[in-house]
Chains A and B, each alone.
Chain A
């Protein structure tokens, strides 16, 4: 398959770009932040997003979705990265939908997928427990209790966790932290007894939550997939998330870069446009190369998820590591080249720096993925 977007994918990109530029430019994020919006995103905008078919992008047509692939999902994420619009697209349409589509029972799919597609239900995928992403180390406990399970432990960095209508929680039903056997996914209603949610406002003004589970009792039908056999699906969902965040980082990095190049062509000092200085030209050209090489890896990761889902781990790690590193370089250069202006809250470039820092951490930073790559190559 050629490593370029096909015609339909390009059209999808254009429509997502047009929609977001009109309805959710960076000023949209600023407004949500400044008004201390309780939801942290616009429900009306999410509903419109759903009407365009984006909320059901990975949902099969039988459940009312668009039945598209990961390349399409990545295309939308990249555009979200350009305007930094907060949206449940990642948590709900990608992570939870993937878990449900790939591991859900008919009943679970029926219960959730149509509502996700319609934009009427928000889900959150709760996996991290420590401050650094390390899913093998899951300790969160699920013990058999009566006909079901009792859940104990806490989750952090749960994207959209504070507003989610349902949670998909990764828990340990057997084995020790560090083992990949013995993990199980549960679908949990966050409003039941024993669940305590704390919204954590992060540096990027996007949504996350810490969630505590104190002897939370769920029925056996809350299990998503197989008891003790959850690792493969957790890994699959995480790989979708990683490739998606890589796409978002790629979009955010490129947008920050384009704004910087425009600035280099306008700003005058010493009687010259600063873009005439070779010191800046070479840094900009170097950054352009880093961004372009990352884009190839990200597209390849998305295509591989579509073609060989279960063996996409290596290229997904390459894409996430690259995207984290090159977007980080892009926002650093952006602030530096904008000078004092880049440091002001009034100017938007800081939003990009903040979002990229969060995206770098989400589902494993460049170091985590370098380690993943080494493990996959057995060294």
Chain B
């Protein structure tokens, strides 16, 4: 037996023993996601136990180094873990901006002290992070951000406003882009700092969206004192970190649809349009559309995998994350349009218990942000045209 086959068997056995049955049932809605954090209330004992066991094993971040709470798995081992979790139906033990975005940036740009302080808190779900990037006048043109951090000797004094800050009202800490040099060209006066959301002078205000929910906030900073040691990397060189982090954010958003909860679209359609005597969906046009989206979904899963493999072997282009972000977010919108179409009038219910408070309709509306957040589809296409295709003037 090869080493990988042994690993697969052991992993399977461990998951079967340690993943509580409740955590192997499909998530019913976003409410079932575990985000962790200081104020997190576990939905069940099973959710808590599952997170604790996975974190102890280092498997909330399978490929990170052991000393920062990771599992130190090779890429091939991590893929096996992922595959076995999928085949057993195991839920993600922890969803986290710390894991998806800040972690990779700290591993590359953080000081040893910062890594040891922040990374283990991320891996076990102790601290929940949010991202302070967009501002009211810095959306697609992110580098024109104006939030100011003044050097006050032993600390920075931060003043300004962020917007579209996902879960700012629930997060414990923020990684934040601030302007530290107003005289430099716009990309060169930006720094990357970290601070506690409980600091004096931080306030948040949720924004009500078309989904009737408020995943995003306005975030205000008034004379917030941030210790100097919370600067990541070099002063005024934060844009490099910001961009690196964005490549991870984009890959994450691209893959968002793959983490979607709820019943498969063909089952929903079977209920609403019925099936013929051969078990085929009675609406052949809808059936064809479902199959087309499904083909693209399967292909996209392997595109994500291949992009990771190429990166691992040094053949990747960081700008490829823009392809994944563009394609994945547009695909997720198509998927939800189809879910709504398959669901018919049942999917339109907004408040009933039957519809779980309109979970599908709210999810559908939420996906419309996928092609805006983390850089719009149009921005991603600009990046591909410039950084991959080298088209002139892009």
Spell out A's residues near B (CB within 8 Å). Answer: 1-4, 261, 264-265, 272-273, 275-276, 278, 280-282, 284-286, 288-290, 292-297, 299-300, 314-315, 317-319, 321-322, 366-367, 369-371, 373-375, 377-379
Contacts and interface: CB of A to CB of B under 8 A. Distances in A.
B75 A282 contact: no
Contacts of A296: 299, 302-303, 305-307
A369 to B, nearest CB: 7
Contacts of A286: 326, 381
Given A3-B309, A295-B306, A379-B281, A284 B391 contact: yes
B393 interface: yes
Interface in B340-394: 378, 380-382, 384-385, 388-394
B279 interface: yes
A379 B279 contact: yes
A321 B295 contact: yes
B126 interface: no
Contacts of B315: 4
Given A296-B305, A379-B269, A281 B394 contact: yes
Contacts of A3: 302, 305-306, 309
A378 B389 contact: no
Interface stretch (B131-139, B153-161, B215-223, B285-293): B285-293
20 contacts: A1-B76, A3-B305, A278-B385, A282-B381, A282-B382, A285-B380, A293-B296, A293-B303, A296-B303, A299-B306, A318-B298, A321-B292, A321-B295, A322-B296, A370-B291, A371-B291, A377-B266, A377-B294, A379-B270, A379-B279
Nearest to A369: B295
Contacts of B275: 379
A188 to B, nearest CB: 34
B13 interface: no
Contacts, number: 136
A374 B323 contact: no
Residue among A285, A317, A373 with the highest chain B CB neighbour number at 10 A: A285
A329 to B, nearest CB: 13
Contacts of B312: 2
Given A265-B392, A285-B389, A294-B299, 11 more contacts: A2-B312, A3-B305, A261-B391, A275-B392, A282-B378, A284-B389, A289-B326, A315-B298, A321-B292, A322-B299, A366-B292
Contact of A4 (B300, B309, B385): B309
A374 B280 contact: yes
Specify which of B76, B266, B298, B393 lies most central, judged by the most chain A CB atoms within 10 Å of its CB.
Answer: B298
A317 B323 CA distance: 23
Given A2-B75, A285-B384, A300-B302, A379 B391 contact: no
Residue with the highest number of chain B CB atoms closer than 10 Å, among A2, A272, A295: A2
B327 interface: yes
B304 to A, nearest CB: 8
B279 A370 contact: no
A296 B388 CA distance: 18
A367 B392 contact: no
Top 7 A-B pairs ranked by shortest CB distance? A285-B384, A276-B393, A281-B385, A370-B291, A297-B299, A3-B306, A379-B266
B391 A276 contact: yes
B313 interface: yes
Given A265-B392, A275-B391, A281-B391, A318 B299 contact: yes
B184 interface: no
Contacts of A321: 292, 295
Contacts of B298: 297, 314-315, 318
Contacts of B279: 378-379
Contact of A293 (B281, B327, B382, B389): B327
B258 interface: no
B46 interface: no
Nearest to A300: B302
